[in-house]
Chain A
Amino acid sequence: MNEFFNAMGVMVYRQLKRFTRARSRVIGSIFNPLIWMVFFGLGWSGLFTSSMAKLLFRGLDYMSFLAPGMVMMAIFTASLFSGMSVIWDREFGFLKELLVAPASRTAIILGRSIGDALTALAQGVVILAASFLLAKQLTPTGIPLAVAIGLLAAIAFTSMGIALASTMRSFEGFNLITTFLMLPLLFLSGAFYPIDSLPLWLKALVYLNPLTYAVDATRYALTGVSSFNILHSTAALALSAVILTLAATYTFKKSTIE
């Protein structure tokens, strides 16, 4: 048991250490949501000023509606990518070396996903800080809850990335995933627009998307507005995190012993 936490701790430490050294990567992943917030958010919020629009966003101005979604988008993309970088590590990197060590593979992959989740959360927190500068209707008292939801989401999506990477045998799949998975998940999460009036078939997809619950819970924490009961969305997100972590552990173990 001691060795288990030892190996896990080493992985967490390593991911955090790498994060502090890879500045260019971090800046890149923070800029993406910032660009959305500034160019997309500010653009639309000038148009959504009628009382009709207010009704649409449940009393929020558009920027305040969008900001929680962008915090989650930052966490989502950073988590998914760092989880997926496991494929590089396995072929050409450090991870391969750990696989011949007498350490539990579960410990290795759990440690890695916790470490990556923490770094993704840090990036989300930067966007959160920026949100308070740009959006007027956010409540600072919701920050602790938003951070907790962020950590849960980060663990879920890092695991999703690891699980995806573990089932890939080459790097070509990488681009496919950005197009066919990341963008749909983002647009069907309620980050950009309310999901209540979507056609039924899209709504079904929205409900299956773990990101939906992460965005909704964060919006609740920061603005008090949400489509789901906060307990329900948190439970759904937690369940997703558990399932995805199990999936990551299983696929990773399977992919490393042929």
Chain B
Amino acid sequence: MAAIVAEKLTKVFNGFKAVNEVSFEVKEGEIFGFLGPNGAGKTTTINMLITLMKPTSGHALVAGYDVVKEPEKVRGKIGVVFQDQSIDRELTGWENLWLHGLVYGVPRSTLRQRIRQLLKLVELEGFANTPVKKYSGGMIRRLEIARALIHRPEILFLDEPTLGLDPQSRAKVWDYILDLRKEHGMTIFLTTHYIEEAERLCDRVAIIDHGKIIALGSPEELKQSIGGELIYLKVSENPSLYSAFLEKLSDIQGVLSVKTLGNRQLSLRVKSASTTIPAIFDLAQAAGVKISEIKYTKPSLNDVFLQLTGRALRDEEASWRDHARLRTQARWRR
């Protein structure tokens, strides 16, 4: 059974289609990501799946329950980490987890034990009795992840889990997420606008722009979809031999296209650089051409986004909500 099924999910705000007929399926035990720029409809989609918003049309099943008809049942099966900090800053880490567990009806003795385990998992056991307002952004995020796990959800939703974190905290959060999947087989749905995050974490990625899914597949599949890898070559001079070499290059198996860049430089589009590079060397040797430089790059998901939309994946104009969020966060950090 699929953990999440969305069919033509649509949300319209005052005539603006924030999410436009989005359909996808998330398998059990999978890390599934929504990648797209700010305002693409990622958070709106999550909000519909976690029963905070009603879809304008279309429907969705989460853990087998309809998000509109049985929201209470869905809520019992999911854990959520919101994009904005949603923790009580006046209370301690322990108190936050304690109150959360009580609301979910976890028995008190079990709850005590789980809080201890989870605080250990996210390496905050030393800060259990510190008010959250003294935590750093990374610590708060880790506490929120611990909190989302207290009631043992089947599906974990993470909305921009590492937004605003420094690289070290980000790497730590990634480790926890990967651990959760490995050790508990948890299904995880996350949104991000960080390419690296999607590539590192997700089994499958849906690229979303202007409320529509424009590509869906594993990061590898998506990258291959735009035509494999790129090889850059520089050969030493020898005009007569060079032109013969050039002709034969495009005959090598797996070479999709050859472009001359002038000054004896070439760029090749290939299916797989690792098998093509040896063939290029063989050919060069046979033709008597000397290769002076060679390098290859893999296309990133950013190239995929670029190819599909003609734009790079970057932050769009910040909304008032973002401004308010940054202001409050800046104030809290002091």
Residues in A lying within 8 Å of B, measured CB to CB = 3, 6-7, 9-10, 13-14, 17-18, 21-22, 91-94, 96-103, 170-171, 256-258
27 A-B pairs within 8 Å (CB atoms) are namely A3-B105, A6-B103, A6-B105, A7-B103, A14-B91, A14-B99, A18-B90, A21-B90, A21-B91, A91-B324, A92-B85, A96-B86, A99-B52, A100-B80, A101-B103, A101-B104, A102-B72, A102-B75, A102-B76, A102-B105, A103-B103, A171-B324, A256-B52, A257-B52, A257-B53, A257-B54, A258-B53
> Within B262-300, which residues are at the interface with A (CB < 8 Å)?
none
- Give, as a whole number of angstroms, the nearest-CB distance from B99 to chain A: 5
Complex alpha-carbon distance, A256 and B100, angstroms: 19
Task: Please give 12 more A-B residue pairs, beta carbons under 8 A apart, in addition to A6-B105, A21-B90.
Answer: A10-B99, A18-B88, A18-B90, A18-B91, A91-B84, A92-B85, A92-B325, A96-B84, A99-B52, A101-B75, A102-B75, A258-B53
Complex alpha-carbon distance, A98 and B84, angstroms: 14
How many A-B pairs have beta carbons closer than 8 Å: the answer is: 78
- Give, as a whole number of angstroms, the nearest-CB distance from B315 to chain A: 20
Q: Report chain A residues within 8 Å CB of B72.
A: 102
When the two chains form their complex, are residues A92 and B86 in contact, meaning their CB atoms are under 8 A apart? Answer: yes
Complex alpha-carbon distance, A102 and B104, angstroms: 7
B51 at the interface (CB under 8 A from A): yes
Q: Report chain B residues within 8 Å CB of A6.
A: 102-103, 105
When the two chains form their complex, are residues A17 and B91 in contact, meaning their CB atoms are under 8 A apart? Answer: yes
Which residue of the partner chain B has the closest CB to A95?
A: B86
When the two chains form their complex, are residues B52 and A17 in contact, meaning their CB atoms are under 8 A apart? Answer: no
- Give, as a whole number of angstroms, the nearest-CB distance from A60 to chain B: 41
B125 at the interface (CB under 8 A from A): no
Complex alpha-carbon distance, A100 and B103, angstroms: 11
Q: Report chain B residues within 8 Å CB of A98.
A: 103
When the two chains form their complex, are residues B102 and A10 in contact, meaning their CB atoms are under 8 A apart? Answer: yes
* Interface range, B side: 20 to 34
When the two chains form their complex, are residues A94 and B86 in contact, meaning their CB atoms are under 8 A apart? Answer: yes
When the two chains form their complex, are residues B95 and A17 in contact, meaning their CB atoms are under 8 A apart? Answer: yes
Which residue of the partner chain B has the closest CB to A99?
A: B52
Complex alpha-carbon distance, A100 and B48, angstroms: 11
> Within B127-175, which residues are at the interface with A (CB < 8 Å)?
131, 147
The 6 residue pairs across chains A and B that have the minimum distance between CB atoms? A102-B75, A102-B76, A94-B88, A97-B86, A18-B90, A21-B90
B34 at the interface (CB under 8 A from A): no
Which residue of the partner chain A has the closest CB to B101?
A: A10
- Give, as a whole number of angstroms, the nearest-CB distance from A56 to chain B: 46
Complex alpha-carbon distance, A9 and B325, angstroms: 29
Complex alpha-carbon distance, A21 and B320, angstroms: 29
Complex alpha-carbon distance, A102 and B95, angstroms: 19
Hey, what's the 0/1 contact readout for B301-334 against A, CB within 8 Å counting as 1? Answer: 0000000000000000000110011001000000
Q: Which of B54, B78, B99, B104 has the largest number of chain A CB atoms within 10 A?
A: B99
Complex alpha-carbon distance, A171 and B320, angstroms: 11
- Give, as a whole number of angstroms, the nearest-CB distance from B145 to chain A: 13
> Within B67-112, which residues are at the interface with A (CB < 8 Å)?
72-73, 75-76, 78, 80, 82, 84-88, 90-91, 95, 99-100, 102-105
B190 at the interface (CB under 8 A from A): no
Q: Report chain A residues within 8 Å CB of B325.
A: 92
Complex alpha-carbon distance, A247 and B237, angstroms: 84
Complex alpha-carbon distance, A110 and B90, angstroms: 21
Complex alpha-carbon distance, A170 and B104, angstroms: 30
Q: Report chain A residues within 8 Å CB of B82.
A: 96-97
Q: Report chain B residues within 8 Å CB of A21.
A: 90-91, 131
- Give, as a whole number of angstroms, the nearest-CB distance from B87 to chain A: 7
Which residue of the partner chain B has the closest CB to A257?
A: B54
B9 at the interface (CB under 8 A from A): no
Complex alpha-carbon distance, A146 and B156, angstroms: 49
Q: Which of B76, B90, B147, B328 contacts A17 (CB 8 A)?
A: B90
Complex alpha-carbon distance, A94 and B82, angstroms: 10
B213 at the interface (CB under 8 A from A): no
Which residue of the partner chain A has the closest CB to B104?
A: A101
When the two chains form their complex, are residues B88 and A14 in contact, meaning their CB atoms are under 8 A apart? Answer: yes
Q: Which of B91, B100, B102 contacts A97 (CB 8 A)?
A: B100
Complex alpha-carbon distance, A92 and B332, angstroms: 12
- Give, as a whole number of angstroms, the nearest-CB distance from A159 to chain B: 21
B50 at the interface (CB under 8 A from A): yes
- Give, as a whole number of angstroms, the nearest-CB distance from A82 to chain B: 13
Complex alpha-carbon distance, A98 and B88, angstroms: 11
Q: Report chain B residues within 8 Å CB of A91.
A: 84, 321, 324
Q: Report chain A residues within 8 Å CB of B328.
A: 92
Complex alpha-carbon distance, A137 and B77, angstroms: 61
- Give, as a whole number of angstroms, the nearest-CB distance from B110 to chain A: 15
- Give, as a whole number of angstroms, the nearest-CB distance from A166 to chain B: 15
Q: Report chain A residues within 8 Å CB of B103.
A: 6-7, 10, 98, 101, 103
Q: Report chain B residues within 8 Å CB of A13.
A: 99
Complex alpha-carbon distance, A97 and B86, angstroms: 6
Complex alpha-carbon distance, A7 and B53, angstroms: 22
Q: Report chain B residues within 8 Å CB of A102.
A: 72-73, 75-76, 104-105
Complex alpha-carbon distance, A13 and B105, angstroms: 16
Complex alpha-carbon distance, A98 and B147, angstroms: 12
Which residue of the partner chain B has the closest CB to A98?
A: B103
Which residue of the partner chain A has the closest CB to B320?
A: A170
When the two chains form their complex, are residues A97 and B52 in contact, meaning their CB atoms are under 8 A apart? Answer: no
Complex alpha-carbon distance, A170 and B102, angstroms: 31
Q: Report chain A residues within 8 Å CB of B85.
A: 92-93
